[in-house]
Amino acid sequence: MKKNELSHEDIKQLLNHSAAQLDKPTLTRLHQAREQAMAHHATHCIEPVFSRAGHAVWHAFGTQHKSRLWAATLLVALILFSATAYWNQNAKPDTTDVDIAILTDDLPIHFYVE
Amino acid sequence: MIQIMYLIRHHLLAFSITLFLFLPTIAGAQTWENLTPIQQEALAPLSQQWNTLQALQQQRLINLAKRYPQLDAMKKQRLHNRLEKWSKLTPEQRDRAREKFQAFSKVPLEKREQVKQMVRQHEAEKLNTPAATPPLANMP
């Protein structure tokens, strides 16, 4: 380490020294800012997992407004696709009557298949 | 726990996409073990391949099984004999068979009976033919 380079201890001392020279209103404002930051940090830690996951996804698309718009569009498209596929599957007509008739009829299945 | 949180946080998007894409398949799928004893009895010939069937096909077969207790012994036997072949058909083949059956049902009863008689004769001939023909004729 170079001789004229400041160590962590030096920096701490200089900051403490500078802080001691600040006027009272500034010190009060700094103290309030620190309290707020600490409170925010505590809230952040107990934030629910899914909220954090949501933020992670949100940030995965970058901070650009356009990217987030694409992300939202993609999500909506996926939900629509899935809902449509699910609805189509459930909306198929009930074939039970015909199926049971074919499977128990006195004519063999291949008569209807071939 | 930390690993799970890490996975959720970093792979939530992949999870969501997979879940959305496979939701139609996941929803409605039933395992053989989840079926009631009556459903299992009705669908017994399909016990081996049940878990490989598509959800829609499973649902249709479960609907069939609901009617099983009301069938007489002969129809129960026919159902069991035909279920495997029926399940192996493609969805298009089954749709075609349903169309053909419905069309045939609209044919006048007399005509229908004639056709059934012809088919029965044809089936009987087919059953007798292999025994009458030499073994080489059965080769593919």
Q: Is A55 inside a domain boundary?
A: no
Q: For residue A57, tell me if it sits in a domain.
A: no
Contact of A72 with chain B, judged by CB distance below 8 Å, is answered with no
Number of domains in chain A: 2
For residue B82, the SS3 value is helix
What's the pTM? 0.52
Beta-carbon separation of A56 and B85 below 8 A: no
Q: Which of B123, B116, B79 is nearest to B101 (CA)?
A: B116
Q: Which residue of A has its CA nearest to B28?
A: A90
Separation between Cα atoms, residue B45 and residue B119, nearest integer Å: 26
Q: Is A74 part of a structural domain of the chain? A: yes
My answer on whether A42 and A67 are in the same domain is no
From B108's Cα to the closest Cα of chain A, the distance in A is 16
Residue A53 lies in a domain: no
What are B4's two structure tokens?
């799970």
- Would you place residue B133 in the very low, low, confident or very high pLDDT band (cuts 50, 70, 90)? very low
3-state helix, strand, coil split of chain B in percent (to 5) is 80, 0, 20
Residue of B nearest to A79 (CA): B20
The answer to whether residue A15 neighbours chain B at the CB level (below 8 Å) is no
pLDDT of residue B139: 41
Residues B104 and B112: their CA atoms lie apart, in Å, by 7
Cβ–Cβ gap B67/A96 under 8 Å: yes
- Are both A68 and A113 inside the same structural domain? yes
Identify from A59, A92, A95, A99 which residue to disrupt to test chain B contact, counting B C-beta atoms within 10 A and taking the largest count.
A99
Residue B137: its pLDDT value, please? 39
> And the tokens for A79?
């939900």
Residues of chain A falling short of pLDDT 70: 1-4, 43-54, 57-58, 60-64, 89-90
Looking at the structure, tell me whether residues A66 and A114 fall in a common domain: yes
Residue B130 pLDDT greater than 70, yes or no: no
Task: Tell me the three-class secondary structure of B47-67, residue by residue.
Answer: CCCHHHCCHHHHHHHHHHHHH
3-state secondary structure chain A: CCCCCCCHHHHHHHHHHHHHCCCHHHHHHHHHHHHHHHHHHHHHHCCCHHHHHHHHHHHHCCCCHHHHHHHHHHHHHHHHHHHHHHHHHHCCCCCHHHHHHHHHCCCCHHHHHC
Give residue-wise pLDDT tens across range B83-111: 999 999 998 999 999 999 999 999 999 99
Q: Can you tell me the ipTM of this complex? A: 0.70
Q: Do B20 and A79 touch (CB under 8 A)?
A: yes
| A22–B contact, CB cutoff 8 A | no
Residue B132 has pLDDT above 90, yes or no: no
Q: What amino acid occupies position B71?
A: L
**Domain around A100:** 62-114
CB contact under 8 A, A113 and B96: yes
Q: Do A72 and A106 reside in the same domain of the chain?
A: yes
pLDDT score for B5: 57
